Amino acid sequence: MISAFPEEMAALYPDIKRAGNLREAMQCALNDSGTDLVAAVHPAPEWRSTATVVESATRTSDTHLARRQRLFNIEFSERGVCMASGSTTELATCVGPVVAWQAGADLEQLCAAAPFIRPTALGLAFEQGTAVEFIWNQFLESEYHDPALLEAAYAQPALRALRPYTSMNALHFSRSTRFPFTTDLPFVIPRDEGGYRVVWQIESSSMDSWWLDLQRVDRDFVNAETVADAIAVVLEHLPDGCGPAIDGTARDLDKPNAISGETHVPADHDVSKQAEPVRE
């Protein structure tokens, strides 16, 4: 059930108030354009009257209303990654880019259809096939509490070909670039008392399942005093053929036609597991 349109927003959006909610208004606008796209109720309960989503198997156009000024904010996503976004004051101007995006437009075509739309830096990286490199650079420039660990991991070709992500300060490596990430590779936990704990799956050569419940899967670990030792342990327990990361989700790796190496890796990135010297 969609809640009533907020009275405090009625003055800014009298047209949406008359329609009942944004989903109804968007559907009318889509119908008027001649498309058969369907505007769905937004999954977030608090936004059900002030937001709507148009989606397909891989793409989403998410529109929601600003509360303090009249703005229709749109985000365009592909397989969980926000690729572009923009804001406009009129609902009618949202329809063209929504139709274009759901029809398969690339970022250049999308922005040409609506000058108020701008691609995200991450979206451009995914479209250009450089997502892993881009994400690593973001991590290296971030305020992660152990930059030496990031730098040591990035120095190894086998690891920088994978997608880094963090969970509870632990540094993980994924065989897929998009969420959900894989959880079956060794990961490193910086210890409060100093040093590192490296955790790996006991049968580390098995990659049949993309998701491993960390509380149920048999794992082993070792404590390492230095970052060099920690990365050496990760490389030792890295399964064969686990990279480069594919441009997809962990679920895609379960498909028979899953292909490794779809993500661009710079030419000098030899994905051998041979460890390179790490500077402390």
pLDDT band at 46 (very low <50, low <70, confident <90, very high): confident
**94-98, 217-221, 272-276: lowest mean pLDDT where?**
272-276
Other C-beta atoms lying within 10 Å of the C-beta of residue 18: 11
Residue 23, both tokens: 């989903």
Angle at 25 between CA 79 and CA 65, to 5 degrees: 65
Q: Which of 72-76, 189-193, 198-202 has the lowest mean pLDDT?
A: 198-202
Q: Residues 95-105: pLDDT tens digits? A: 999 999 999 99
The predicted-structure confidence for 69-86, as pLDDT tens digits, reads as follows: 999 999 999 999 999 999
3-state secondary structure the chain: CCCCCCHHHCCCCHHHHHHCCHHHHHHHHHHHHCCCCCCEECCCHHHCCCEEEEECCCEEEEEEECCCCCCEEEEEEECCEEEEEEEECCCHHHHHHHHHHHCCCCHHHHHHHCCCEEECHHHHHHHHCCHHHHHHHHHHCCCCCCHHHHHHHHCCHHHHCCEEEEECCEEEEECECCCCCCCCCCEEEECCCCCEEEEEECCCCCCCCCCCCCCCCCEEEEEECCHHHHHHHHHHCCCCCCCCCECCCHHHHHCCCCCCCCCCCCCCCCCCCCCCCCCC
How far apart (Å, rounded) are the C-alpha atoms in residues 134 and 263?
A: 11
pLDDT at 257 exceeding the cut of 60: no
Confidence of residue 275 (pLDDT cuts 50, 70, 90): very low
Q: What is the mean pLDDT of residues 239-256?
A: 84
Chain-wide mean pLDDT for the chain?
86
Mean pLDDT of 197-202: 84
pLDDT value for 255: 62
User: What pLDDT, on a 0 to 100 scale, did the predictor assign at position 192?
Assistant: 92
User: What are the φ/ψ torsions at residue 140 (nearest 5 degrees)?
Assistant: -65, -25
pLDDT value for 83: 98
Q: What is the mean pLDDT of the segment spanning 45-64?
A: 94
Give me the pLDDT at residue 218, please. 61
Going by pLDDT thresholds of 50, 70 and 90, the confidence category of residue 278 is: very low
**In which band, very low, low, confident or very high, does the pLDDT at 140 lie, cut at 50, 70 and 90?**
very high
- For residue 245, give the amino acid letter: A
264 touches 136 (CB < 8 A): no
Look at residue 274 in the predicted model and tell me its pLDDT: 36
